[in-house]
Amino acid sequence: MVNNKLLRMKFTAKQIAQALNGNIEGNPDIEVSSLAKIEEGRPGSISFLANPAYTNYIYDTKADIVIVNEDFKPEKTIQPTLIRVKDAYLAFTSLLEMYENAKRKKTGISKHAAISPSAIIGKNVFIGDFVIIGDNTEIGDNVRIHGNSTIGSQCKIGANTILFAGVKIYDECKIGKECVIHAGVVIGSDGFGFAPQSDNNYKKIPQIGNVIIEDYVEIGANTTIDRATLGSTIIKKGVKLDNLIQVAHNVEIGENTVIAAQTGISGSTKIGKNCMIGGQVGFAGHVKIADGTKIQAQAGMTKNIKKAGEFFAGSPAYNYSKFQRSYALFKNFEKIEKRISELEKDKNSD
């Protein structure tokens, strides 16, 4: 849902068009101070039209400015000032990003933060209340660390990265630049390593590796990423992880892969780049997933995927097209069974 109080200052259509590299059709001096969905537009707001299904709203909206695609052709009179851009959806997204960046430009270090004297703190940082930063940890320029977050010793946080409230980063973990780590994320907790003993007890295997998160990664709230037993658990550049994901020890996730909520990835699994993984997918340990693989929600990945770009579903997972055909038969199983029984009865009666 769009927050209708995003803009707290007034901006003219001319100023917005300049920021978006758009062309104005209407009053360049009209001012707006809020954002709105087109069907909820009101005086003083700016909206956008990207989906043709919403075209009818542009003729009735009370918004003063509407961002539209360059090729939009109105069928009747329009009251709002139009800003024509190549992609209205992306342009409106840019406005939201501008707001977010402005909102997040906090600087200063809370007097309630506990920072080791050996920590290295960059320029223009924000460190909120009750943040803890351990020995020999490096915090890059423009980093923002919100309240109650804990960063262990010998960690490194790259420039322009944001840690929201309550993030926990264990010792020796590395996070790149321009990352976003949402509230409650835990990075570097122990991998699940226990050796069974003769007396049916379990002996803990020390987890002495770390977690490396490369640049431009976003990690959703309450996701956990375990440190490696040896070496590193690695999240490559551009990865996007949803909320409530479990990434186990020594896992590697390739560049620009996106993973939806509640997915569980067992130890030493290697996921390729540019993969798309639905929610609640389960990965067995030590499997390898090829680049560009797409996996439907709730699938169970138990075997290596060697061919790039394939689509999988089911548990255990297999080719999506085959899954769909099999599911069509499964749905009609009772009818098929009944029909077979009838045929057998007819055969026996003969």
Per residue in 125-149, pLDDT (tens digit) is 999 999 999 999 999 999 999 999 9
Asked if residue 8 has pLDDT above 60, the reply is: no
Catalytic residue among 112, 146, 249, 286: 249
- Domain boundaries defined on the chain: 11-103, 108-320, 321-350
State which CATH number among 3.20.20.70, 3.40.1390.10, 3.30.1330.10, 1.10.1040.10 fits the domain covering 11-103: 3.40.1390.10
Asked if residue 5 has pLDDT above 50, the reply is: no
pTM over 0.85, yes/no: no
Q: What is the CA radius of gyration of the chain?
A: 27
How sure is the predictor about 3, in pLDDT bands with cuts at 50, 70 and 90? very low
Instruction: Return the pLDDT at 343.
Output: 79
- Of 32, 13, 33, give the one whose Cα is nearest residue 23: 13
Instruction: Return the pLDDT at 208.
Output: 97
Instruction: Return the pLDDT at 159.
Output: 98
Separation between Cα atoms, residue 165 and residue 261, nearest integer Å: 20
Asked if residue 327 has pLDDT above 70, the reply is: no
CATH fold of 108-320 reads UDP N-Acetylglucosamine Acyltransferase; domain 1 (2.160.10)
Choice among 170-174, 222-226, 239-243, 317-321 with the minimum mean pLDDT: 317-321
Instruction: Return the pLDDT at 2.
Output: 37
As a whole number, the mean pLDDT across the chain is 92
- Of 186, 253, 188, give the one whose Cα is nearest residue 224: 186
Higher pLDDT, 15 or 98: 15
Per residue in 222-277, pLDDT (tens digit) is 999 999 999 999 999 999 999 999 999 999 999 999 999 999 999 999 999 999 99
The proportion of the chain whose per-residue pLDDT surpasses 70, expressed as a percent, equals 94
Is residue 249 part of the annotated active site? The answer reads yes
Higher pLDDT, 335 or 210: 210
**CB–CB of 54/41 below 8 Å?**
no
How sure is the predictor about 184, in pLDDT bands with cuts at 50, 70 and 90? very high
- Residues whose CB falls within 8 Å of the CB of residue 87, separated by 6 or more in sequence, listed in order: 50, 69
- Of 257, 227, 252, 226, give the one whose Cα is nearest residue 242: 257
How sure is the predictor about 325, in pLDDT bands with cuts at 50, 70 and 90? confident
Instruction: Return the pLDDT at 245.
Output: 98
Instruction: Return the pLDDT at 1.
Output: 34
Instruction: Return the pLDDT at 102.
Output: 67
**CB–CB of 266/288 below 8 Å?**
no
